[in-house]
Amino acid sequence: MFFLNSKLRALVLATILLALSGSVTAVETVRLKDLGKFAGWRENALVGYGLVTGLANTGDSPNNKATRQSIANVLAQFDVAVQPELVLSRNVAAVMVTAKLPPVARQGDSIDVTVTSIGDARSLVGGLC
């Protein structure tokens, strides 16, 4: 009698397991980002410093020490030694570059970038970053 009961129990258990395994495979696929917001999933602020060149005499004045030093530093990268005091160009402006990188940005995506003069340039129109 005990032998029949254990076979019956095994059959019932196997039936339950089969029923449960069938329902597990029918679960709908859900992406994590659809369930809510997660720590670390935020836009990232990007900030940079640079020079805009090619300005038609509308760049920073020769009195702007930061711009003169930046030009001297760039020239030094090309093995051109010049003292910042000797840089008198008005065709260059020091700028701050800012952008917001979306949390799900991928390589090749376009983003909006803002370029702002931080010196005394009159205009950045026509310049190149």
For residues 93 and 66, give the distance between their C-alpha atoms in angstroms, rounded to a whole number: 10
Whether the Cβ atoms of residue 58 and residue 122 lie closer than 8 Å to each other:
yes
- Is 97:129 a contact under the CB 8 Å cutoff? yes
The span from the CA of 36 to the CA of 19, in Å, is 31
Per-residue pLDDT of the chain in tens (129 residues, 90 and over written 9): 445 566 666 666 666 666 665 555 455 666 656 666 656 678 889 999 999 999 999 999 999 999 999 999 999 999 999 999 999 989 999 999 999 988 888 888 899 999 999 999 999 999 887
